[in-house]
Amino acid sequence: MSSEQYLAANLRRAVAEDPRTAELGVRVTVRGDHVMLSGDVACAERRAALEEVLHETAPELTIYNDVRVTPAGEPEGEEDLR
């Protein structure tokens, strides 16, 4: 089982350090022959780039990409701190 932990650590470093992704805010969880990605990225292209980098690093794994794209609209309301 410890090999899953090493694999998850290596994949997490890959998505953080590969310039195509540079994502430190994405979680990588390995379970058997599946890898799940979770967290938020800024746009759909970056969400897809995560799969590209992961697939190159570990082509044998099936990817569940649960990463969400962060909304960038106007805020709804405000917080009153007075």
> Which phi and psi (to 5°) does residue 36 adopt?
-110, 130
Q: Residue 10 contacts by C-beta under 8 Å, 6 or more apart in sequence? A: 57
Positions 2 through 41 that interact with other proteins (CB under 8 A): 19, 22, 24-25, 27, 39-40
Q: In this structure, how many other beta carbons lie within 10 angstroms of the beta carbon of residue 48?
A: 12
Residue 78 found at the interface with other proteins (CB under 8 A): yes
Residue 71 found at the interface with other proteins (CB under 8 A): yes
Interface contacts to other proteins, rule CB under 8 A: 19, 22, 24-25, 27, 39-40, 42-43, 45-46, 70-82
